Structure 1
Amino acid sequence: MFKNDFPYFQNSKTIYLDNGATTQKPKSVIDSQVEYYEQYCSNTHRSNFGHANKATQEFEKVRTLLKEFINASAKEEIIFTKGVTESLNFIASSFAKDFKTVIISSLEHHSNIVPWHMQGRTLGNGLEVVNCNENLDFDMTHFEELLKANANAFVSITHISNAFGKIHDMEAITKLAHSYGAVVMCDGAQSLAHLKVDIQKLDVDFFAISGHKTFGPTGVGAIYIKEKYLKDIKPYQTGGATIHEVDFNGSTLLDSPYKFEAGTQNIAGVIGFGKALEYINHVRYENIENLEHKVFKYLDEELAKLPDIVFYNDISNTIGSRSFNFKGIVHDDIGILLDKMGVALRVGHHCAQPIMKKLGIKGTIRVSTAFYNDYVDVDKLIEALKRALIMLKG
């Protein structure tokens, strides 16, 4: 019933099941960006004529909205970035680089692996990885062993695996990490599309947020920084909009959040992201979670009926993404055939090569859902998969 709010579904007959890569955008998000460019296109935090003031007000309104949306303590804790990848790289390069040890999980996206390699960290040499069991669950016992062996570590963990949909218990992970003096960052790229996030409850020190995976525009995101760290972190870029005063002998910076937001921001994108958050508030998380869990369970049940299917985890503590393969079938071939049948999903390693290597596979077929997906979408997927299997098995 919510598909009517999304122009994509009015203009396309495609069964869209690649929400882990990006979500579709409601009309209110699209309209807000058009309105900015057509009616008050101006830069923010600079000029003081009418349209410039309006642009600044609309931009800053989103900061306050996002602060309330995740229950942050202050709007100064919300820093806009171009997405989760930039958010993670920002904290990695400007704050976490000074930590002797970084601890990550086995299910990380490359965006939370490669930045540590760029610092010269390798497994056992400044980088530690928490084991997962056969169901891909986070091994809390091993995590505690790593915390004991590496005092005051920097912990960086994905909230929801983009490849397998596993939900990490960030509240428990953070509580244990803090008890050993560790600082915690959470990759929340997949979070806000599926779950209500309460930063006070999670108690993480940093939380990376994606706009485009949360029904907002591409090229926009944010990083939540716990207030006590704001003065300790140096900007990793400086320039326009970050400066209090400059002469040739030196510069002084503004306070947070502005000292972290150098240059002209993605103004239309941020305004659009705000509309996405308003849309989620309109739909309400209780409805989103209820609808998603029902369709996700139905998806799992129907997939399980297909011959020779291979899963890598069950759906306990899982949402959003369901990954699988078929014995004797190359996953790329499934993707190509389903595309010709009007079904969009992702095949490959999903920017999570280490866990794929651990499982002894090159990649998977991934179906990733959002609350606007329904039983009809699942039925059409299953029908397409059956046809593809017949063609590939001869």
Structure 2
Amino acid sequence: MTGHGFDVEQVRKDFPILQRKLAEDRPLVYLDSANTSQKPQSVIDTLTEHYERHNANVARAVHQLGEESTAAFEGARDKIAAFIGAPSRDEIIFTRGITEAINLVANVLAWADEPYRVGPGDEVVVTEMEHHSNIVPWQLLTQRTGATLKWFGITDDGRLDLSNIDELITERTKVVSLVHVSNMLGTINPVAEIARRAKAVGALVVLDAAQAGPQLPYNVLETGADLIGFTGHKLLGPTGIGVLWGRSEVLAALPPFHGGGEMIEDVRMERSTYAPAPHKFEAGTPPIAQAIGLGAAIDYLSALGMENVAAHEQAITGYALERMLEVPGVRILGPTDMVDRGGAISFTMEGLHPHDISQVLDSYGIAVRGGHHCAKPAHRRLGAQSSTRVSGYLYTTEAEIDAMIEGLHQVRKFFGVA
């Protein structure tokens, strides 16, 4: 199978785990990339080489290893800035993942100076389709500060309900935080339009780009947002690494999140002063190898071309949707066409539990996700306790989708619903 601008079969050779055979000598069919992506050999080799040849702490040591490690770490920051169209490398903050990135923002807004401080009478707006990591931190912030949490609803077909946008985004709105591409529904939200409405009332706009970053050519300025988080392990990179991008003027105005080494300008027993961004938000030893590994992942994606990655993701997801709608009893939760749609496909099968579906598919070597995907409110809104999720990526083939479809027919036979 040839992808859009690259040969998928050739790409698959770069991913050692995709050559693996599972129980009963069944080939691995990996359809859980919205959960975590697999890693190309170049990323694995980069991590190994760092530990074998360059391992040292960054910014602290003046010896050769320290200089090499620092150069590679800061080089990864440069690569990420270029990858997402950030005007300055100093707008790239390394975190442990997008969960920490959003928690960082939600926490510092509680003690920021105006105009960013969130307090009594202020309102924070999210959506009903958010991952829990873009709901719970804002619940904690509003509960602790006396602010109010409001949210956009979801339509029956899994889109944002914007009909009451004028009631939700008002002069009292301090923050609007939403997902760019839903990890459960696959919906691509009109973030630039929502950001324009939010900026018109002076609200801060925060985006969860955990799914958008791996799937779309990304330019942070085109979104209209002020702060955007994404995570490395969904982007061919290692676990334990994430990125928070922020506009320079916003980062300069926000107080630090963690206190410790390397985030300071000066420390006296009476008080401390802080380094400018990004170091103000990177206390302690950072995830050095993970950041360098993420840099290698971005090199790999850039060589393929994100336009090509996006085109393949669209094609393979469209093919999967068509095939899945042929299976009796399948209900797609979310858009059933490829208009403004990303790669995650969550579904239910009449009379069957998602965990049972997932376990039978796994017996055929097909890896999917069963559960609520950290999106309980969205499931509740669409009348489902949980679902099974299929998510391909740049290494997914039509043959793997066909294997999954055949697996769903086997699920029906196994449970006697054929």
- Per the TM alignment, residue 64 of structure 1 is displaced from its structure 2 partner at its CA by 1.1
State the match for 1:157 in structure 2.
178
Q: Which aligned pairs between 1:311-322 and structure 2 lie closer than 5 A?
A: 311-313=332-334, 314-315=336-337, 316-322=339-345
> Aligned AA for 2:134?
N
Work out whether 1:3 is the aligned partner of 2:25: no
- The range that moved more, 356-365 or 270-279, is 356-365
- Per the TM alignment, residue 193 of structure 1 is displaced from its structure 2 partner at its CA by 1.2
**Alpha-carbon separation, structure 1, partners of 2:313 and 2:211:** 14
Kept in 1, the 8 Å contact 2:30–2:366? The answer is yes
State the match for 1:131 in structure 2.
153
**Alpha-carbon separation, structure 2, partners of 1:220 and 1:15:** 26
Deviations 1:19-67 (A, max 9, x none): 1110001111111111110001000000111110010011001111111
Kept in 1, the 8 Å contact 2:20–2:28? The answer is no
- Per the TM alignment, residue 121 of structure 1 is displaced from its structure 2 partner at its CA by 3.5
**Alpha-carbon separation, structure 2, partners of 1:366 and 1:152:** 34
- TM-score computed with the length of structure 2 as normaliser: 0.91
Q: Which aligned pairs between 1:74-89 and structure 2 lie closer than 5 A?
A: 74-89=88-103
**Alpha-carbon separation, structure 1, partners of 2:407 and 2:173:** 51
Q: Relative to structure 1, is the Cα distance of residues 96 and 164 closer, same or farther in structure 2, using a 3 angstrom cutoff?
A: farther
- The range that moved more, 235-244 or 378-387, is 235-244
State the match for 1:268 in structure 2.
289
1:5 match: secondary structure:
coil
- Per the TM alignment, residue 264 of structure 1 is displaced from its structure 2 partner at its CA by 0.6
- The range that moved more, 307-316 or 347-356, is 307-316
Kept in 2, the 8 Å contact 1:58–1:271? The answer is yes
- Per the TM alignment, residue 153 of structure 1 is displaced from its structure 2 partner at its CA by 2.2
Work out whether 1:355 is the aligned partner of 2:378: yes
**Alpha-carbon separation, structure 1, partners of 2:224 and 2:110:** 18
Kept in 1, the 8 Å contact 2:154–2:381? The answer is no
Deviations 1:81-122 (A, max 9, x none): 000000000000002673221100110000011112223549
- Per the TM alignment, residue 377 of structure 1 is displaced from its structure 2 partner at its CA by 0.6
- The range that moved more, 258-267 or 243-252, is 243-252
State the match for 2:39 in structure 1.
25
State the match for 1:58 in structure 2.
72
2:177 match: secondary structure:
strand
Identity %: 34
**Alpha-carbon separation, structure 1, partners of 2:226 and 2:307:** 26
Work out whether 1:43 is the aligned partner of 2:57: yes
State the match for 2:331 in structure 1.
310
State the match for 2:263 in structure 1.
242
Q: Residue 279 of structure 1: which of 296, 300, 314 is its match?
A: 300
Kept in 2, the 8 Å contact 1:147–1:153? The answer is no
Kept in 2, the 8 Å contact 1:322–1:366? The answer is yes
Deviations 1:319-364 (A, max 9, x none): 1101111111112110111111100000111000111111221111
State the match for 1:104 in structure 2.
126
Q: Which aligned pairs between 1:123-272 and structure 2 lie closer than 5 A?
A: 126-148=148-170, 150-272=171-293
State the match for 1:114 in structure 2.
136
The number of equivalent residue pairs is: 392
1:294 match: secondary structure:
helix
- The range that moved more, 47-56 or 135-144, is 135-144
**Alpha-carbon separation, structure 1, partners of 2:110 and 2:379:** 27
**Alpha-carbon separation, structure 2, partners of 1:229 and 1:263:** 22
**Alpha-carbon separation, structure 2, partners of 1:73 and 1:96:** 27
Q: Relative to structure 1, is the Cα distance of residues 120 and 171 closer, same or farther in structure 2, using a 3 angstrom cutoff?
A: closer
* Unaligned ranges ≥5, structure 2: 1-8, 22-26, 112-116
State the match for 2:83 in structure 1.
69
- TM-score computed with the length of structure 1 as normaliser: 0.96
Q: Relative to structure 1, is the Cα distance of residues 226 and 96 closer, same or farther in structure 2, using a 3 angstrom cutoff?
A: farther
**Alpha-carbon separation, structure 1, partners of 2:290 and 2:218:** 21
**Alpha-carbon separation, structure 2, partners of 1:363 and 1:128:** 24
Q: CA RMSD in A?
A: 1.5
